[in-house]
C-alpha cells in the first residue's frame, strides 16, 4: 500500500485482457476482480488467475467477494505463494456481503503466512444515513469502502463523511469529471471506480487514463 500522502487509486471490475493492458499502461495502485458469480463484471477464479498473470506486479490485485466461504477467499490469496516469495504477491481482498467481524477474524487466520503481517481486507458499506457510516467505522477490516450502492454508478451525500477519521475508500459514481473534486474535498485514503471509466459497459482506456490523471495530475 502507498504512503498516506498519495491517494490510492483502484479500478474495479476488470474482466478482459484488454482491461489489464489498459491498467498496465496507466498504473493505478490496484485493480479489482469480482469473484462472486451472478454480477455483470464477474469472472471465474481461473479467469482471475489468468488476468493476474498479465498484470504488472507493482499493481495490487483485489479479489472482490460477496458472502463467500472463507476457504474460497483464502484460495484466491494463496494462489501466488510461489517458491522464492516470502509473502503473497501484491494482493488484497474486498468484502461486499453480510460479513461481520467474526468472519473477518476467521479470514485473517485462513490467509495467514509465517512472518507476514497480513493481507489487507477492505469491507464495503452502502451509505445512505449517518448510521451507515457509524456502522462502517466499527468494522475490524483494515479499510472500509463507502459507496452509494453496488455498482450503481451514483454518488451519495458526501456530507455524511464529515468527521470520519479512519482510512476509507470512496466509491460510487466516481470518474474523470469529479475525482479531483472528491479528493480535494474529502481527502479519502483511496478512490475506487468502475462504471465511471466505462463506455457501453466496457472499460475505456481513455477514461481510465483520464481518471488516474485527475487524481495524480497529468503524465
Predicted confidence at residue 148, as pLDDT, reads: 85
Predicted confidence at residue 89, as pLDDT, reads: 66
As beta bridge partners, residue 121 has 93
Domain for residue 65, yes or no?
A: yes
Domain for residue 2, yes or no?
A: no
Domain for residue 1, yes or no?
A: no
Residue 123: how many CB atoms within 10 A of its CB?
Answer: 23
Q: Which residue range(s) make up the domain with 86?
A: 8-216
Contact 198, 176 (CB under 8 A): no
User: Which parts of the chain sit beneath pLDDT 70?
Assistant: 1-4, 80-89, 114-117, 150-153, 218-219
Predicted confidence at residue 83, as pLDDT, reads: 44
| Burial readout 18-28 (b: 16 or more C-beta within 10 A, e: otherwise) | ebbebbeebeb
Domain for residue 70, yes or no?
A: yes
pTM of the shown model: 0.91
168-199 pLDDT, tens digit each: 999 999 999 999 999 999 999 999 999 999 99
Domain count, the chain: 1
Predicted confidence at residue 10, as pLDDT, reads: 98
197-to-5, 176, 193 alpha-carbon distances in Å: 24, 8, 7
CATH (domain of 23): 3.20.20.70
The whole-angstrom separation of Cα 147 and Cα 136 is 11
Domain for residue 176, yes or no?
A: yes
Domain for residue 85, yes or no?
A: yes
Domain for residue 193, yes or no?
A: yes
As beta bridge partners, residue 202 has 199
Residue in the structure block whose three cell numbers are 479531483 = 180
Residue in the structure block whose three cell numbers are 483485489 = 62
Predicted confidence at residue 115, as pLDDT, reads: 61
Predicted confidence at residue 14, as pLDDT, reads: 98
Who's near 148: CB < 8 A, 6+ residues apart?
A: 126, 127, 128, 154, 155, 156, 171, 172, 173
49-70 pLDDT, tens digit each: 999 999 999 999 999 999 999 9
C-alpha cell at 186: 474529502
Length of the chain: 219
Predicted confidence at residue 127, as pLDDT, reads: 94
Domain for residue 3, yes or no?
A: no
Amino acid at each position: 500500500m502507498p504512503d498516506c500522502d498519495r491517494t490510492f487509486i483502484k479500478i474495479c471490475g476488470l474482466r478482459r485482457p484488454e482491461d489489464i493492458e489498459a491498467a498496465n499502461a496507466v498504473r493505478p495502485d490496484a485493480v479489482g476482480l469480482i469473484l462472486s458469480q451472478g454480477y455483470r463484471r464477474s469472472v471465474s477464479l481461473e479467469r482471475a488467475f489468468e488476468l493476474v498473470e498479465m498484470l504488472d506486479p507493482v499493481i495490487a490485485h483485489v479479489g472482490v467477494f460477496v458472502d463467500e466461504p472463507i476457504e474460497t477467499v483464502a484460495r484466491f490469496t494463496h494462489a501466488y505463494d510461489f517458491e522464492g516469495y516470502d509473502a503473497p504477491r501484491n494482493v488484497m481482498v474486498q468484502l461486499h456481503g453480510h460479513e461481520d467481524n467474526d468472519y473477518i477474524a476467521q479470514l485473517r487466520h485462513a490467509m495467514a503466512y509465517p512472518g507476514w503481517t497480513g493481507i489487507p481486507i477492505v469491507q464495503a458499506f452502502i451509505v445512505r444515513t449517518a448510521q451507515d457510516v457509524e456502522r462502517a467505522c466499527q468494522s475490524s477490516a483494515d479499510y472500509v469502502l463507502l459507496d452509494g450502492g453496488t455498482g450503481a454508478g451514483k454518488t451519495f451525500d458526501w456530507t455524511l463523511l464529515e468527521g470520519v477519521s479512519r482510512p476509507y475508500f470512496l466509491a460510487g459514481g466516481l470518474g474523470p469529471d469529479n475525482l479531483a473534486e472528491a479528493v480535494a474535498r474529502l481527502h479519502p485514503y483511496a478512490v475506487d471506480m468502475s462504471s465511471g471509466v466505462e463506455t457501453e459497459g466496457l472499460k475505456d482506456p481513455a477514461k481510465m487514463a483520464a481518471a488516474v490523471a485527475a487524481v495524480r495530475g497529468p503524465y
